[in-house]
């Protein structure tokens, strides 16, 4: 299958956005005959088994940026082998759900949601799949209730700024303490087709900047811009195209001197 056909399957509604010069992921595609495993291991000095789980994926198509793999492991390792509740937004062809199942193990409660009704056929394979939109709060609420809560969210859905923001605003307060919230493919934050733009006021990175200021609200007088998130956001990690927020109750900082 050619790269364009593969991309069309993974990004059925947005392929046109990927064909333009700057707004394109196509120039970053890894050579089809090259060694994916070796690329991940060597570039990122990564020896964990997540790279093998990804590189040896079979059956359902999966499409990931190579640098995400060590990051997934860095942030998700504490949850591995436990009865955690994981929600993937944007299932596409099911390869990523298969990958998460292999990584987390059989005890994990894994759900995926997608707006595309074709994804219904993936239900019950590696995970439970529910059809609906990430910007529909009632739908999200029903999925969380079914899951019995959530520990990890991976937003790999529409990648549209307004959807990413609305979903975060709704789901982050519902995430269990100690959980993490990952947002993928944030190169779209620079692309107008996704509601983004360089230094745009509605770019997701504007929210991230607000969250950083909120985190340091103890040291300025401008208050909290996103209290529903910031009061429980204990860590903000920004990587190329991926942001990870850690959830835990925040505390007024204290310091001491010990002799």
Ligand X SMILES: C[S@@+](CC[C@H](N)C(=O)[O-])C[C@H]1O[C@@H](n2cnc3c(N)ncnc32)[C@H](O)[C@@H]1O
User: What is the binding site for ligand X (CB under 6 A)?
Assistant: 10-11, 62-64, 89-92, 95-96, 113-116, 133-135, 156-158, 163
Q: Pick the closer one to ligand X by CB: 11 or 204.
A: 11
Residue nearest ligand X (C-beta atom): 90
Rounded to a whole number of angstroms, the minimum distance from the CB of residue 259 to ligand X is 53
Rounded to a whole number of angstroms, the minimum distance from the CB of residue 197 to ligand X is 20
Handedness of CA 92, 98, 104, 107 (dihedral sign): positive
Q: Identify the active-site residue in 56, 66, 67, 159.
A: 159
Rounded to a whole number of angstroms, the minimum distance from the CB of residue 4 to ligand X is 15
Rounded to a whole number of angstroms, the minimum distance from the CB of residue 3 to ligand X is 15
Q: Pick the closer one to ligand X by CB: 54 or 232.
A: 54
Q: Pick the closer one to ligand X by CB: 151 or 155.
A: 155
Q: Are residues 27 and 187 in contact, defined by beta-carbon separation less than 8 angstroms?
A: no
Both tokens assigned to 99: 């990958």
159 is catalytic: yes
Q: Pick the closer one to ligand X by CB: 134 or 230.
A: 134
Catalytically active residues, by annotation: 159
């Amino acid at each position: 299958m050619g790269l364009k056909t593969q991309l069309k399957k993974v990004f059925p509604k947005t392929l046109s956005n990927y064909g333009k010069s700057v707004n394109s992921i196509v120039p970053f595609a890894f050579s089809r005959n090259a060694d994916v495993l070796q690329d991940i291991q060597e570039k990122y000095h990564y020896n964990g088994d997540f790279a093998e789980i990804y590189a040896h994926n079979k059956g359902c198509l999966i499409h990931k940026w190579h640098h995400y793999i060590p990051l997934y492991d860095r942030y998700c390792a504490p949850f591995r082998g436990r009865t955690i509740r994981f929600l993937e937004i944007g299932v596409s062809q099911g390869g990523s759900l298969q990958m998460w199942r292999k990584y987390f193990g059989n005890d994990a409660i894994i759900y995926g949601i997608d707006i595309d009704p074709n994804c219904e056929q993936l239900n019950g394979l590696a995970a439970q799949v529910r059809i609906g939109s990430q910007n529909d709060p009632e739908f999200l609420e029903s999925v969380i209730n079914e899951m019995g809560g959530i520990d990890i969210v991976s937003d790999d859905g529409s990648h549209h700024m307004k959807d990413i923001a609305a979903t975060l605003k709704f789901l982050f307060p519902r995430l269990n303490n100690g959980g993490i919230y990952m947002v993928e493919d944030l190169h779209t934050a620079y692309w107008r087709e996704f509601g983004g733009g360089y230094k745009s006021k509605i770019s997701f990175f504007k929210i991230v900047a607000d969250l950083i200021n909120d985190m340091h609200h103890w040291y300025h007088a401008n208050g909290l811009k996103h209290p529903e998130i910031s009061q429980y956001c204990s860590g903000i990690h920004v990587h190329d195209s991926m942001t990870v927020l850690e959830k835990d109750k925040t505390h007024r900082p204290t310091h001491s001197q010990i002799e």
